[in-house]
């Protein structure tokens, strides 16, 4: 099987932590992965296993942390 391209728009939090393990496995199988995430987030961080694109949001880190 040939690797494909995946576009992922994750939700921050525990869902991302579980999804990241799956994405790491897919990368090892040859898939190219692009993650689209907000500039301010808690768990979604850059990795060598995927390309990360950030988009601006109208909240500060303090506001995001306070809502959680």
pLDDT in tens, 18-67: 898 999 999 999 999 999 999 988 889 888 889 999 999 898 888 877 87
pLDDT in tens, 49-63: 899 999 998 988 888
Record the pTM.
0.77
Helix ranges, 1-68 (H): 14-28, 61-67
């Amino acid at each position: 099987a040939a690797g494909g391209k995946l576009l992922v728009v994750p939700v921050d939090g525990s869902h991302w932590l579980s999804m990241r393990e799956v994405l790491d496995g897919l990368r090892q199988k040859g898939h190219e992965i692009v993650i689209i995430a907000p500039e301010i987030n808690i768990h979604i961080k850059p990795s060598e296993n995927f390309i990360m694109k950030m988009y601006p949001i109208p909240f500060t880190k303090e506001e995001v942390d306070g809502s959680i």
